[in-house]
Structure 1
Amino acid sequence: MRWIDGLEAAAAEKLPEPVHRYFRQGSAGGISVGEATAAWNAYRFRPRVLTDVSTVDISTTVLGTPVDGPVLVAPTTLQRQADPGGEAAMAAGVAAANSVIGISSNAGTTFADIGAAGAPWWLQIYVVKNRDVTLRMLDAAVAAGARAVVLTADTPVVGRKEDDGPTIWEVIQPGHLLANLDEGEYAVEDLGKADNLTPDVIGWLAERTGLPVLVKGVLRGDDAKRCADAGAAGIIVSNHGGRQLDGAIPTARALPEVAEALAGTPTEIYVDGGIRRGEHVLTALALGARAVFVGRPALWALTVDSSAGVTRLLTDLGEELTHAMRLVGSPTIADLTPDLITR
């Protein structure tokens, strides 16, 4: 069995059951979370033959930052429940793999400590009802060296979870959430998600931070175009790991429409959701993604072996991608084109 395939089971042995359930669960009936990986498995390859693949190069850039491979770590919350080092340990593992990490605005580790781990990082932000809280978070991230802002756009309200036992909120340890907001400077109601956002918020974020803005949670080509027209530097095709609207289309199926809508534009396209193999990464790149994000696998790897586990996850997926590219007849990422893929 692949090491990656055993990660969740190994993590489950170390995590309190409510934490494991929170990390793995989707919303409502679990349809979207259950379909994610199967949607990538539904694609088939049309390999080229008699091409020179003696040397394969999987290095690329993401928003101008060089990375050794096109596998990045998605923003996830409550990482200190997985490892005492939390986001700093995750970032150290990412740095060793020369990749990029997304950091949740709910992070339980200060942005300064995350930045000190050495990985280039992008801030994932929820715009909340109290914009002053959002502004304080943005300013702190910029001061600590964030290189981009990832606007989560699919959460006007939080998706319904159907817990059947003690929830994570009953076992979470103090200090594992919102380490970058000073206690006493906000009320719980200030943190409610803003439900009145329009594409204008993209320019507002860019102006405030001076950073490129990506929009995460896009599943439609017309929405991707609206975001790009409003100034988004990147789109992340995502259904929030199946944790928001249950029954939302798998990202593997949404990606081609988004890529078609943004063809010929400088807007970079990323995708997450259910990616577990190098072959899935290859499919995503051929369909138009510049790179992919992995979320739950990184949490399992962090739980099992801290920073070293995260590095191994990214390295193993990169090696699988290299192997698949040899077999599909594409020595560089630029050679990965839609004609290699069919459903």
Structure 2
Amino acid sequence: MRNIMTSIPAGVCSLSDYEHRAQQVLSESVWAYLSGAAMDGHTHRRNRQKLDDVLLQQRILCEGMGQGSCQQTLFGRTLALPLLIAPLAYQKLAHPMGELASVQAAAAQGVGFCLSTLASSTIEQVAEVSGQAERWFQLYCQPSREETLRLVRRAEAAGYSAIIVTADAPINGVRNAEQRAGFALPEGVSAVNLDALAKPQQGDSVFACWMGQAPDWQTLEWLRGQTDLPLLLKGVMHPDDAIRAIALGIDGLVVSNHGGRVLDSQPSTIEVLPRIRQAIGPNLPILLDSGIRRGSDIFKAIALGADAVLLGRPVFYALAVAGPLGIAHCLRILRDELEATMALCGCASITDIGRHTLFHND
């Protein structure tokens, strides 16, 4: 059993600092699982490269900045900054508190929290300790509609305020680093919310084993009719899919390539975001994930059409290094970086951020 730190190590002042520390404290196999990407990692690296390529436009001597704020409102709920903790599976791999630590940190910092279907804490346990945190439930559709609906009803009964349906991972990506490290879930870590559900059928190919049970557009249409909660679709990377989702009554989209963990050699999320925003118009909420590491990344996402972002792997890293305090520290770092970026670009509110706040070399 590794030593669980209860304080923030000296010299940790950015999300990358937590990543470096996490690699030192986690086992090789767990690190391979948490940090690994699909195949050769092209998409994973591209997420960062393309965010770095977006340049900011500084402005000076701006008036009326003293009352600035980075608050954002989604579905009638106000967040301290436009950020939610992404739905991350098996958080007890990083710390014994797992998801309970993450939701408490989210509550402390006034951001949202998304609970994964594959969480290592139950829907109800997380709800009990969440305080005032805005919490959503991420849904992987199960082989039967009855089992899928059972998860939705549990989330509704526990007070979750939105459902995110993940559509971009009907199968796991081919993650070689994880395979080489021989990763397997340790004793005491499992998808506890699925314990009572039937196991998927087996087969000798991707198609025979998984795709015959995968959700489709009819599944999404059915699900829309089963709940009055806001329903978001996660994994949207093509404008045509966004348009079709809206036609079915979806309330929001998450532009995501799963952090490069599923399909390699596809575009970054920041590249496709403007196209999806242009296709669906200005009103429907869009969130973006995959590659967010700085407050300035949040600013760039907002400028290119997002309403908020999801934060994934860095939550794991901070949890491994310093537990709930580490996550809260990460969230505060991002808020400070975002506010500094806004101030230096002449934006007193999230609504001030737009394409005009980016540098265009033309």
- Name the TM tier (shorter chain): over 0.9
Cα deviation code 1:121-146 (max 9, x no counterpart)? 11111113233322222222222111
The corresponding residue for 1:76 is 88
User: Shift in Å at residue 37 of structure 1?
Assistant: 1.2
1:19 aligns with 2:30: yes
Q: Is the 8 A contact 1:112 1:144 kept in 2?
A: yes
Q: Distance in 2 between matches of 1:195 and 1:50?
A: 58
Cα deviation code 1:11-70 (max 9, x no counterpart)? 112211111111111101111111211111101122343322223210111222111111
Q: Distance in 2 between matches of 1:269 and 1:28?
A: 28
User: Shift in Å at residue 195 of structure 1?
Assistant: 5.5
1:34 aligns with 2:45: yes
- Alignment match of 2:343 (pick from 320, 326, 333): 326
**2:181 partner amino acid:** P
Q: Distance in 2 between matches of 1:188 and 1:198?
A: 17
Q: Distance in 2 between matches of 1:324 and 1:120?
A: 25
The corresponding residue for 2:120 is 108
The corresponding residue for 2:268 is 250
The corresponding residue for 1:181 is 194
User: Shift in Å at residue 193 of structure 1?
Assistant: 6.3
Q: SS of 2:118's equivalent?
A: coil
Q: Distance in 1 between matches of 2:252 and 2:183?
A: 32
Q: Distance in 1 between matches of 2:148 and 2:37?
A: 26
Number of equivalences: 339
User: Shift in Å at residue 196 of structure 1?
Assistant: 5.1
Q: SS of 1:124's equivalent?
A: strand
Structure 1 stretch displaced more, 255-264 or 245-254: 255-264
**1:40 partner amino acid:** L
Q: Structure 2 stretches of 5 or more lacking a match?
A: 1-10, 203-208
The corresponding residue for 1:303 is 320
The corresponding residue for 1:97 is 109
Q: Structure 1 stretches of 5 or more lacking a match?
A: none
Structure 1 stretch displaced more, 253-262 or 44-53: 44-53
Q: Distance in 1 between matches of 2:193 and 2:233?
A: 22
Identity rate, percent: 31
1:137 aligns with 2:148: no
- Alignment match of 1:283 (pick from 300, 316, 319): 300
The corresponding residue for 1:128 is 142
User: Shift in Å at residue 215 of structure 1?
Assistant: 0.6
Q: Is the 8 A contact 2:224 2:248 kept in 1?
A: no
Q: SS of 2:226's equivalent?
A: helix
- Structure 1 runs, 4 residues or longer, greater than 6 Å off: none
For the aligned residue pairs, the C-alpha RMSD in angstroms reads: 1.9
Cα deviation code 1:244-274 (max 9, x no counterpart)? 110111011111111111214x310000011
Q: Is the 8 A contact 2:83 2:311 kept in 1?
A: yes
